[in-house]
Amino acid sequence: MRSKEWIQRHQVAMYAVAVALAVGIGAGKPATAPLFERLITPVLAVLLYVTFLEIPFVRFREAFTNGRFMAGALGMNFLVVPVVVYGLTRFLPREPVLLVGAFMVLLTPCIDYVIPFTDLADGDAEQITAATPALLILQLLLLPVYLWLFMGSQIASVVDPEPFLEAFLTLIVLPLTLAWLTELGATRSGTARRWQSAMGWLPVPMMAATLLVVIASQFPRVQDSIGQIASVVPVYVAFLVVMPLLGRVGARILRMDVGESRALVFTSVTRNSLVVLPLALALPAGYELAPAVVVTQTLVELTGMVVLTRVVPAWLVTRPSEPISIPGTASEE
């Protein structure tokens, strides 16, 4: 277990190595891009399976035992975040390829590494874990609604239903179903429990592998458009600054304790690039930049997590000061 904890604590460094390696391969060996592109689907499928295994679907009803936290998490992610995203994206160029990528990733709350990052900040990771099934189901239902509200008729011309549906079924529904069946089996079978436990080591390495194959395959085709992709970075940084502050306000309004408050901050700010990446990759010709826009958010966010895991407990949501004991006072008697 210590080794697993070590992997989680050093996951950002592992991702950085994967990204550096991918950029080196993409720039130095562009002819390998088709090979890496063929690996995207199987690697993503495994990643999403092991990620969904971390979600306690068999404990879905437990999420609603703390109604205050659930109300806060759903309210921040599906009411407050869309308003913030709409405002921030007003500063982006009016290019559909940039907008659809930014909307896809910013409107979907994280369901995976938000848990270890919350734990690193001494937040209540159990509350996040319990909330993940509801967060996942609602984001899948609401993302098309948000895209239609923000992009209108543009989104109809962007999305070709057939490859979009194929990606959704192959890379989201299938891994999700297998994960649920595995969890169900783990409640009845020791073999299934051991399998689930073994799979628990894989989310971080598979995330690194995904970054490697996606960036190495896409870099040659987007390297001439780095300036366009970079235009979304200030919006992503602004989101990382604004949402923790709003999360703190929401936690105060709901009178949450310290652990819950930190958990609400992290679920408000972390986004779900893993689930939307297959959908971005399924967009038609002319939208090759959309996956890069999604992955760029991941890179910005992971960098921000290094800062937020320190800033949130030290400055934003601090523990109440312990009362000072003075010798000879009545409190000692």
Domain residue ranges in the chain: 2-312
> What are the residue ranges in the chain where pLDDT is below 70?
1-2, 58-64, 156-161, 320-333
pLDDT in the model for residue 320 = 63
Q: What is the pTM of this model?
A: 0.86
pLDDT in the model for residue 333 = 41
Q: Tell me how crowded residue 91 is: count the other CB atoms within 10 A of its CB.
A: 11
pLDDT in the model for residue 2 = 61
As given in the structure block, the two tokens for residue 154 are 């543009």
pLDDT in the model for residue 59 = 62
Q: Are 219 and 296 in contact (CB under 8 A)?
A: no
pLDDT in the model for residue 324 = 43
pLDDT in the model for residue 35 = 96
pLDDT in the model for residue 60 = 61
pLDDT in the model for residue 199 = 94
pLDDT in the model for residue 58 = 67
**Sign of the alpha-carbon dihedral angle for 307, 310, 313, 315:** negative
pLDDT in the model for residue 156 = 66
pLDDT in the model for residue 80 = 98
C-alpha to C-alpha distance for 291 and 213, rounded to whole angstroms: 12
Beta bridge partners of 35: none
C-alpha to C-alpha distance for 3 and 281, rounded to whole angstroms: 33
CATH classification number, 2-312, choose in 1.10.730.10, 1.20.140.10, 1.20.1530.20, 3.40.1390.10: 1.20.1530.20
Q: Are 12 and 305 in contact (CB under 8 A)?
A: yes
pLDDT tens digits, 108-139: 999 888 999 999 999 999 899 889 889 999 99
pLDDT in the model for residue 154 = 76
H helical segments located in the chain: 2-9, 11-28, 33-52, 67-75, 81-88, 96-106, 114-120, 125-151, 153-158, 161-168, 174-186, 190-199, 203-222, 226-230, 233-253, 258-269, 273-281, 289-311
pLDDT in the model for residue 301 = 95
Q: Are 274 and 48 in contact (CB under 8 A)?
A: yes
- φ, ψ (nearest 5 deg) of residue 271: -120, 165
Distances (CA, A) of 132 to 102, 302, 318: 22, 19, 25
As given in the structure block, the two tokens for residue 331 are 């409190």
pLDDT in the model for residue 3 = 78
C-alpha to C-alpha distance for 133 and 59, rounded to whole angstroms: 9
pLDDT in the model for residue 157 = 66
